[in-house]
A and B are shown apart, each in its own frame.
Chain A
Amino acid sequence: MTKQPVLPPEPLTNEAIAARLTNTVLKSLDKGLVKKKNLVYLELNGCSGNIISFLNGQNPDFEYLLNSMVNLRYSNSLMAAEGERAIEQLMNSLDEEYILAVEGAVALKNNGLYNVIGSWKGKPLTGLEAAKMFGEKATHILAVGACATHGGVSAAKPNPSESVGLNQVLPSKKMIMLPGCPVHPDWFIGTLAHLLLYGEPETDNLSRPLMFYSTLIHDRCPRRPFFDRGIFAEKLGDKTCLFKLGCRGPVTRIDCPTRQWNGHVNWPIGDDTPCIGCAQFGFPDAMAPFISYDTTRVVKNE
């Protein structure tokens, strides 16, 4: 199934030969461990921040993903082809088995014309059409990031593009939900690895993989002792519990406190700011206001 690319004449320096041997061995090893599958990655109505986040992955990184895990068939951000030839590659992937990953919401307004992802046979291909077409035939579907899982920021009120989550246009299809804004590369690549190595991961009743989404931030927060003793931050930058500044850790199920971000160096609470609940369904509207200096205030119109 994997096609070997035609390679240019190979350089014959010792270094080049050594690199080639190592790569071949590594590849064979990886092939024994992981059977590569096709991946179609669709970016729909959103900020394309999930694919940027996924370039930020470390162990596994993007390079490992490409070499050892998947044949990436389509990616608007990364592929070399453009125009109808790019869409042709997308359409060709329909002839094979593939896993579908979608980031961004599905815009419904004007029959989907608020989000056109390309042109096919002279007609605009909307995100709506592509989501349905590729969702129907996929062996597995991953909704990557808040916009894909439930509309996210693209569907924030008054939702001018009438954006919805992927499951709204594929109601009968099973899909794995990976909410987050953006998704952490480990949540995405880790879920993909589970699919390839062991099949579908165990999920909760909202289809989120338990290996990442099982526990509330609040239950594992390093600042929990301050909460328990009633010591609260009064402004950003304070080192105590951020609950009274609007922290959504108590309602957000995700492993940020232990995993952390960008090579595990920091996370929003580590930056002395409240969690804004970006990995919980309902983000952003259900999590607003993100920052308030007195949560015990009386609010109008809320």
Chain B
Amino acid sequence: MSKRIIINPLTRISGFMEIDVLVENHQVVDAKTKGNLFRGFEQMLVGRSPFDAVYFTQRICGICSSAHSMASSLALEDALRVVPTEQGRYLRDIIHCCEFLQNHIRHFYQYTVPDFVKIEQNPLFQSDHEDFRLPQSINDRISKHFFDSLPISRSAHQMLAVLGGKAPHNHGVFIGGITTQATAEKVVHMDSILDKIIVFIDEKMIPDVYDIAHYYPDYFRLGGGYGNLMTYGSFNHYQDLGTLYVDPLISKMDSGPEPFDENKIQEKIDYSWYKANENSYKPEEVVAEPDMDKTKAYSWVKAARYDNLPFEVGPLARLILSGEYDNGISAMDRTIARALETKKIAQIMKTLLKQIIPCVDVQKKWELPESAFGRGLVDTTRGALGHWLKINEKKISFYQIITPSTWDFSTRDDSGYRGPAEEALIGTPIENPDKPAEIGRILRSFDPCMSCATHVYIPGKQVKTIKVF
């Protein structure tokens, strides 16, 4: 007997997402992940001033806006042939660290914890499944931490604003590094907050994630997927500091890490509602046109591929590729990796703060070329983010964005590969198909950001609810 399960909306993510899975004998045999909003940033950016890309693209996403300011600034630096100074890079990367801390703490406590912990303080947090296994004392402790985490994630955004002006949607990250200059007062303001965040991570967040893992050990066997991992590199290649986290690397299935080659990035649209001369192209070649009449398409998420293969991106991919985690690839490993990475990022931020020379101005009056091409590839909170832009007559003539969620939540392709999150669901035992806890837990372990997967929207057809075939 097969049963189709639709979850719409998948709450506690950024943006809107729908899941469509087919269950046979209490096991997932097919899965489709679909995003449910479309704004079309690539079309909006054409004709605008290239400088405006930095503030404009941040509006793609409220929880990871700095990520887009990073990628667009890198793409502009590439196009304008600007090499940022090391001080500029440190300052910009400090802002990026603040966003990692904010995002990971919020994703763990506000988005992930309610999947495993009964939060009784408010009806808003009342769950609709019954698989809660923590002993009362641990459950109560972690629910209290749900609220204790709020001032902590908030203070991460305050650190961001100290250098970035405001958050979300900062003004600080720009060509050359950041717009303003660090002063001793700003450095200690951030460092003082950072110390409190580190205490929270050590004393609450990391013990909490391991307690959850202890009582839900089956999730170390669920949500695996293909096992292809990728990072564009993160906090790497500093002139004096070397690589503080991870270089650009990929690994296929069970083979070891190899260098990442950006020429192998592709977008495929075999199963997406788009048309172009080719169904597979390089990011700098085409922004595909919408086409809703394509019969086999089921979603407007494109399929990001590397060397024709789907790749998982994000904290777990980074920690494994950097050699700092080797427990495995699963939903629980992803959640643990995010907590461990929070600590890692806090340490990196400590290191970067120590490098700051006060009052260094990294800004210039930047000149726009008549025409140019540039790309900015950077690993952000959720994984690999790329912006590709072309300038013509000093205006943006082309803009392509491939977000981490376009990798993790990509559609299938003509070679028969599913997207990484779709594949991660295959084989999952579903205990109670009427109240499935497993699907949401596995998908949230990827930290989906459907606001970012901007190409995405529902295929225009009516969605069926749970239906027995």
B44 close to A5 (CB less than 8 A): no
- Taken together as a complex, chains A and B put the C-alpha atoms of A135 and B120 apart, in Å, by 30
Q: Hey, which chain B residues are within 8 Å of A3, CB to CB? A: 123
B363 close to A181 (CB less than 8 A): no
* Interface of chain B residues 162 through 181 with chain A (CB within 8 A): 162-172, 174, 179-181
Q: Hey, which chain A residues are within 8 Å of B286, CB to CB? A: none
Q: With A116-B16, A124-B8 in contact, is A47–B181 under 8 Å at CB?
A: no
A5 close to B122 (CB less than 8 A): yes
Q: Hey, which chain B residues are within 8 Å of A257, CB to CB? A: none
- Taken together as a complex, chains A and B put the C-alpha atoms of A50 and B150 apart, in Å, by 16
A136: Cβ under 8 A from any B Cβ: no
B39 close to A161 (CB less than 8 A): yes
- Taken together as a complex, chains A and B put the C-alpha atoms of A291 and B48 apart, in Å, by 11
Query: How far does the Cβ of B144 sit from chain A's closest Cβ, in whole Å?
Result: 9
Query: How far does the Cβ of A272 sit from chain B's closest Cβ, in whole Å?
Result: 4
Q: With A160-B44, A262-B157 in contact, is A116–B166 under 8 Å at CB?
A: no
Q: With A119-B465, A182-B169 in contact, is A45–B39 under 8 Å at CB?
A: yes
- Taken together as a complex, chains A and B put the C-alpha atoms of A266 and B180 apart, in Å, by 11
Q: With A124-B8, A181-B169 in contact, is A61–B151 under 8 Å at CB?
A: yes
* Interface of chain B residues 103 through 121 with chain A (CB within 8 A): 106, 110, 114, 118-121
Query: How far does the Cβ of A101 sit from chain B's closest Cβ, in whole Å?
Result: 14
B3: Cβ under 8 A from any A Cβ: no
B55: Cβ under 8 A from any A Cβ: yes
Chain B 115-151: CB-based contact to A (< 8 A → 1; otherwise 0): 0001111111111100000001101100000010011
Size bracket of the A interface: 35 or more
Chain A 1-39: CB-based contact to B (< 8 A → 1; otherwise 0): 001011111010000000000000000000000000000
B366 close to A293 (CB less than 8 A): yes
Selected interface stretch from A166-174, A195-203, A208-216, A229-237? A229-237
Q: Hey, which chain B residues are within 8 Å of A114, CB to CB? A: 37-39, 457
A48 close to B63 (CB less than 8 A): yes
Query: Chain A residue with minimal CB distance to B290?
Result: A160
Q: Hey, which chain B residues are within 8 Å of A293, CB to CB? A: 365-366
Query: Chain A residue with minimal CB distance to B45?
Result: A156
Query: Chain A residue with minimal CB distance to B367?
Result: A293
A83 close to B7 (CB less than 8 A): yes
Selected interface stretch from A70-78, A186-194, A220-228? A70-78
B361 close to A113 (CB less than 8 A): no
Query: Chain A residue with minimal CB distance to B34?
Result: A116
- Taken together as a complex, chains A and B put the C-alpha atoms of A67 and B125 apart, in Å, by 13
A284: Cβ under 8 A from any B Cβ: yes
A82 close to B165 (CB less than 8 A): no
- Taken together as a complex, chains A and B put the C-alpha atoms of A85 and B5 apart, in Å, by 13
- Taken together as a complex, chains A and B put the C-alpha atoms of A51 and B15 apart, in Å, by 11
Chain B 358-373: CB-based contact to A (< 8 A → 1; otherwise 0): 0001111110000000
* Interface of chain B residues 396 through 447 with chain A (CB within 8 A): 440
A237 close to B465 (CB less than 8 A): no
A8 close to B139 (CB less than 8 A): yes
- Taken together as a complex, chains A and B put the C-alpha atoms of A152 and B51 apart, in Å, by 19
A49, A268, A278 pick with most chain B CB within 10 angstroms? A49
B462: Cβ under 8 A from any A Cβ: yes
A250: Cβ under 8 A from any B Cβ: no
> Per a CB cutoff under 8 Å, which of A9, A81, A84 touches B465?
A84
* Interface of chain B residues 372 through 394 with chain A (CB within 8 A): none
A117: Cβ under 8 A from any B Cβ: yes
B12 close to A82 (CB less than 8 A): yes
* Interface of chain B residues 42 through 69 with chain A (CB within 8 A): 43-44, 48-49, 51-52, 55-56, 59-63, 65
* A–B complex contacts, Cβ < 8 Å, 29 sampled: A3-B123, A11-B137, A43-B16, A47-B65, A47-B451, A49-B61, A77-B14, A78-B124, A80-B12, A80-B127, A81-B128, A82-B7, A86-B11, A113-B458, A114-B39, A116-B16, A119-B6, A119-B8, A122-B462, A122-B463, A156-B56, A157-B44, A161-B38, A182-B168, A234-B365, A236-B174, A273-B171, A273-B179, A290-B56
Chain A residues with a Cβ under 8 A of chain B: 3, 5-9, 11, 43, 45-53, 55-58, 61-63, 66, 71-73, 75-87, 107, 110, 113-119, 121-124, 152-154, 156-161, 163, 181-182, 234-238, 261-263, 265-268, 270-273, 276, 278, 284, 288-293
